[in-house]
Structure 1
Amino acid sequence: MELRCLIVDDSRRFVEAASRLLELQGVQVVGTAETGGQALELASALRPDVALVDVGLGEESGFDVAGRLEAVPVIMISTQDADDFAQLVEASQAVGFLPKARLSGPAIRELLSGHRGR
């Protein structure tokens, strides 16, 4: 079954590159959002299997957005290293963290399988 994904990131360039990569790896990008408000609307309408949420969304915190996306498993993403956010990820609603440089379909599936096994 193809994984349905929502990408929440304010970098159009990253969203386009990530969408192409994930689609090649069997992840269907069903929507993209630049703000928390857009993410909430799209998550409700599209019901993705996972949301990839950038830690920094301009004026918004990706962690705040993750907390509001209650019905969707969230994976936090950033250009920074996981060590920089370990405590914040642990304390958040997110199921995990992926550096943008390591973003891939298999990495997303691995984090989700660990989450579902809890």
Structure 2
Amino acid sequence: MVRCLIVDDSRRFAEAASALLERQGLQVVGVAANGPDALRLAQQLRPDVTLLDIDLGGESGFEVARRLQRETASPIILISTHAEQDYRDLIAASTVLGFLPKAALSAAAIHLLLQGN
């Protein structure tokens, strides 16, 4: 079973995504709303994948991704309500596993990105 950490500043989205992914067979091991909590939980829980919102209120998801990748070995999938083309260059320049629009988030999409790694 894939163990995932969700990092999103919207509690409503994090709860809905957790419920959806759990129903689809993933294990959501933690939820963080900001970079420091994400780093602490990733180090403590060692998820198989981290789903990271690009826009964390006042924080850049890209900067949080850099810190997570420096400190943990968890693959990162960026998520957003914005279209991928809005961030295409930043995503391409990063070392994240991939990008998923929040509307397309599913266990199957996560598995596809993990298998492509």
Normalising TM by the smaller chain, what interval?
over 0.9
5+ long unaligned stretches in structure 1: none
Residue 92 of structure 1: aligned partner: 94
Paired residues, what number?
A: 114
Look up the equivalent residue of 2:33 and give its one-letter code. E
Residue 109 of structure 1: aligned partner: 111
Residue 37 of structure 2: aligned partner: 38
5+ long unaligned stretches in structure 2: none
CA distance in 2, matches of 1:20, 1:30: 12
What are the Cα deviations for residues 43-71 of structure 1, in whole angstroms up to 9, with x where unaligned? Answer: 00000000000000011100111111121
Residue 65 of structure 1: aligned partner: 64
CA distance in 2, matches of 1:30, 1:99: 21
SS of the residue 2:6 aligns to:
strand
SS of the residue 1:20 aligns to:
helix
Moved over 4 A (4+): none
CA distance in 2, matches of 1:93, 1:46: 21
Q: CA deviation at 1:95?
A: 0.8
CA distance in 1, matches of 2:110, 2:12: 20
Following superposition of structure 1 onto structure 2, how do residues 7-26 of structure 1 map, counting pairs within 5 Å?
Answer: 7-26=6-25
SS of the residue 1:93 aligns to:
coil
Q: CA deviation at 1:84?
A: 1.1
TM-score, scaled relative to structure 2: 0.95
Look up the equivalent residue of 2:23 and give its one-letter code. L
What are the Cα deviations for residues 10-43 of structure 1, in whole angstroms up to 9, with x where unaligned? Answer: 0000000000000011110000000100000000
CA distance in 1, matches of 2:95, 2:33: 19
TM-score, scaled relative to structure 1: 0.94
Q: CA deviation at 1:80?
A: 0.9
CA distance in 2, matches of 1:66, 1:84: 17
Q: CA deviation at 1:93?
A: 2.2
CA distance in 1, matches of 2:63, 2:44: 20
